[in-house]
Amino acid sequence: MAELHFFTGTMDSGKSTLALQTNHNHAARGRIGRIFTTHDRAGQAVVSSRLGLTHDALEVDSDFDFWKYVVDTLTRGSRIDYLVCDEAQFYAAEQIDQLAKVVDELQIDVFAFGILTDFRSYLFPGSARLVELADRMNVLQVEALCWCGKRATHNARTENGAMVVEGEVIVVGDVEQADEPPADVAYEVLCRQHHRRRLTAARAKAVSLAPEPLPFG
């Protein structure tokens, strides 16, 4: 029986790596798949992992129809056994419905990968629909960590080093490297408590280095 799998984790938890490993393992056994993504950091029509792996992919635009694509492909005589769908948080809810229909009606496995919540800690529409429809939901085993050492569960956005909670939902970017000057827009994974308090690594460091107030009166 084909299944709709949803693999989720914070940014930098290894989702794109697992997407490419999943494709590799299935292709190595002679299965024929298609890889989809949208808004990858490396550009259009590519899946890129921070471990250095990349693979060509089909770019999913807002009007892309998975059901139509798969039916047209099969009708032309090509074979499809599985779909790998990266950055699935950005897909529209209707596109997730199309993926579920592909699984149920055509017996094609779908492996979707994406973050659950945006920088404000609200569910992305695509991820919400995946939670509602997936046969299996898997949280990635490699835990990204908050600066405090706890498991990171939330994705914070920073602008020039300061955490923000307002703005466009989709802004492509990477996790900040601690030893570099702050980027215009970057992301940092945090535990819930530090996301709630807007306490990023840089701000925690600045607070801990602030001089003690003098003990006047």
Ligand X SMILES: Cc1cn([C@H]2C[C@H](O)[C@@H](COP(=O)(O)O)O2)c(=O)[nH]c1=O
Is 82 annotated to bind a ligand? Reply is: no
- Select from 57, 102, 144, 152 the one that contacts ligand ADP (CB under 6 A): 144
Task: Among 6, 7, 8, 11, indicate the residue that binds ligand ADP (CB under 6 A).
Answer: 11
203: how many CB neighbours lie within 10 A of its CB? Answer: 17
| Contact status: 15 vs ligand ADP (CB under 6 A) | yes
Beta bridge partners of 54: 48
State the residue for tokens 């807007």: 198
> How many residues line the site for ligand ADP (CB under 6 A)?
13
| Segment interacting with ligand ADP, rule: CB under 6 A, options 47-55, 62-70, 75-83, 184-192 | 47-55
**Nearest residue (CB) to ligand X, 81 versus 138:** 138
**Whole-angstrom Cα Rg for the chain:** 20
Residue from 8, 16, 95, 98 touching ligand ADP (CB under 6 A): that is 16
The DSSP secondary structure of 17-78, one letter per residue, reads: HHHHHHHHHHHHTT--EEEEESSBTTBTTEEE-TTS-EEE-EE--TT--HHHHHHHHHHTT-
Length of the chain: 217
Residue with the two structure tokens 């229909």: 101
Contact residues for ligand X, defined by CB under 6 A: 11-12, 15-16, 41, 115, 118-119, 155, 157, 169-173, 187
Residue 172, annotated as binding a ligand: yes
Task: Indicate the SS3 state at residue 131.
Answer: helix
Is 164 known as a binding-site position? Answer: no
Q: Is 188 a catalytic residue?
A: no
Annotated binding site for substrate: 170-173, 187
**Which parts of this chain interact with ligand ADP (CB under 6 A)?**
9, 11-17, 49-51, 142, 144
Catalogue the active-site residues: 87
